[in-house]
Amino acid sequence: MPPFPQVVALNEAAFKHQLTRELQVAVAVVFGGTSGIGHAIVEALCEHLGGRVHVVLVGRDEGSAREVLAAFPTSGEGMLREFVQCDVGSLVSVKRACEEVKQLLEARSVARVDYLVLNAGYNSWSKHAVTNEGLDLHLELRYYYRALVAQELVPLLEAASTPERPARVLSVLGAGFVTKIDLDNLGNTAKPRNGAFRPCLRGMMMSHAYTDAWFAHLASMHPAISFIHAHPGAVVTKALTLDLPFPWGAPLNALMNLLVRYAPRAIGAVPPRECGEHMLWGVHDAKAGMELRDRYGDVISSRGFKAGERIGNGTEPGKLNGTPMKGYSPSDASVHVIVRHTEEVLERVLGLQVGRAK
């Protein structure tokens, strides 16, 4: 990957070229866009497109969202700068927010989504509650809500996709972390949740593997869309601070938090805008199918699907329909198990009937 200033220049040139070729104004829907990486991605997108992009921010704090939206560049009247309220810690709230997004875009005659950014999340090394919906806290905030949003907004993504330019779904999480999938502890609630550190670590690592599986499934079902699981690397946000359990974790917490505040480059951490430009580079470059991308936006591995192609029943982890995938956790067989588990969770919590994987 070229140096950061060159990445910015490449993004600027690429999106300006896009403007000369496309008559439609792009539509971006962002979960977690009022601060941190999500904010940096949509801010850079607005700047590189000269403000010619409709933006819908989905989050909890309307006041912060309105301030952020007002600060984004705009090419003039008619550019949407909208907010939809949502608590991603509740799948009921997420489902309602998705319906509001659909209604909003349909009412404004822009019933499509070119960029769906899923960034709102959660990191804790000591808090591992089971939510009111009966779900592991890490998985609800890092995986289940993202799976639901991607599923719900597929029709709008398909409406935006063309053979030359697919719509993009970007989940900023933990691509490339290969995790052994424990099918006897689906949802991280079947096995004992003793202590704090281990259940938290399990939940975080599960979210990476489950995202791989769900995106592979969606890519096979909707081959004209690009489903991107990205790893942002170390970024100077609240998510980088540590809260390891007391007392043994206290010295490490203090050291890490000091480094984040005063010497972030010493631990390889970059400002959100730098990360946002790299993520945006990956988004612009993406192809239809399922992709894993690293902190620079470069491809770790990818797999496209032909129309009608479905995921098989292979049992070798790290392979998707026979294609070796660097940094990819599931086997084809475990994809089916995780998809069924996810559908069952959505059905139980929401009464939502989603299409069963075949």
Which tokens in the block code for residue 289?
A: 């199918």
Pair (110, 231) in one structural domain: yes
Mean pLDDT is lowest, of 135-144, 191-200, 224-233, for 191-200
Q: Rounded to an integer, what distance in angstroms lies between the CA atom of residue 69 and that of residue 57?
A: 8
Residue 173 in contact with residue 154, Cβ under 8 Å?
A: no
Sign, CA dihedral 42-99-309-314, equals positive
Pair (169, 102) in one structural domain: yes
Task: Give the gyration radius of the chain's Cα atoms.
Answer: 19
Q: pLDDT by residue (tens digit) across 99-150?
A: 999 999 999 999 999 999 999 888 888 888 889 999 999 999 999 999 999 9
Pair (84, 96) in one structural domain: yes
Query: Would 356 be classed as within a structural domain?
Result: no
pLDDT-derived band at 164, boundaries 50, 70, 90: confident
* Max intra-chain CA distance, the chain: 59
Query: Would 358 be classed as within a structural domain?
Result: no
The one-letter amino acid at 179: T
Residue 162 exposed, middle or buried by CB count within 10 Å (0-12, 13-18, 19+): exposed
Among the listed residues 356, 352, 350, 322, the one whose alpha carbon sits nearest the alpha carbon of residue 337: 356
Running DSSP on this structure, what letter comes out for residue 126? S
Query: Would 20 be classed as within a structural domain?
Result: yes
Which residue's entry shows tokens 């349909």? 106
Q: Which domain holds residue 262?
A: 238-268
Pair (243, 228) in one structural domain: no
Mean pLDDT is lowest, of 48-57, 209-218, 246-255, 324-333, for 246-255
Pair (129, 219) in one structural domain: yes
Pair (120, 152) in one structural domain: yes
DSSP character string of 244-279? PPTTTTHHHHHHHHHHHHH-GGGGT-B-HHHHHHHH
Q: Is the pLDDT of residue 303 over 90?
A: yes
First to last CA, the chain: 39
H/E stretch holding 115 reads strand 115-118
Q: Work out the average pLDDT over 181-188.
A: 95
| The predicted structure's pLDDT at residue 127 | 80
Query: Would 105 be classed as within a structural domain?
Result: yes
The one-letter amino acid at 121: G
Angular region, 134: left φ>0, alpha ψ -120 to 50, beta rest: left
Pair (249, 125) in one structural domain: no
Residue 243 in contact with residue 253, Cβ under 8 Å?
A: yes
Among the listed residues 79, 85, 81, 80, the one whose alpha carbon sits nearest the alpha carbon of residue 100: 85
Query: Would 217 be classed as within a structural domain?
Result: yes
CATH of the domain at 101: 3.40.50.720
Query: Would 355 be classed as within a structural domain?
Result: no
Pair (323, 242) in one structural domain: no
| The predicted structure's pLDDT at residue 125 | 80
Pair (146, 250) in one structural domain: no
Residue 224 in contact with residue 158, Cβ under 8 Å?
A: yes
Query: Would 149 be classed as within a structural domain?
Result: yes
Q: pLDDT by residue (tens digit) across 50-106?
A: 899 999 999 999 999 999 999 998 887 789 999 999 999 999 999 999 999 999 999
Cβ-Cβ contacts under 8 Å for 308 (sequence gap 6 or more): none
Among the listed residues 7, 82, 14, 78, the one whose alpha carbon sits nearest the alpha carbon of residue 49: 14
Query: Would 314 be classed as within a structural domain?
Result: yes
Q: Rounded to an integer, what distance in angstroms lies between the CA atom of residue 142 and that of residue 204?
A: 8
Pair (156, 226) in one structural domain: yes
Q: Where are the alpha helices (DSSP H) in 49-153?
A: 62-71, 91-107, 137-139, 145-152
C-alpha dist (Å) from residue 170 to 78, 94, 173, 243: 26, 17, 9, 27
Pair (135, 260) in one structural domain: no
pTM for the whole thing?
Answer: 0.93
Which residue's entry shows tokens 């540590």? 242
Pair (255, 149) in one structural domain: no
Angular region, 309: left φ>0, alpha ψ -120 to 50, beta rest: beta
Higher pLDDT pick, 15 / 24: 24
As for how many domains the chain has, the answer is 2
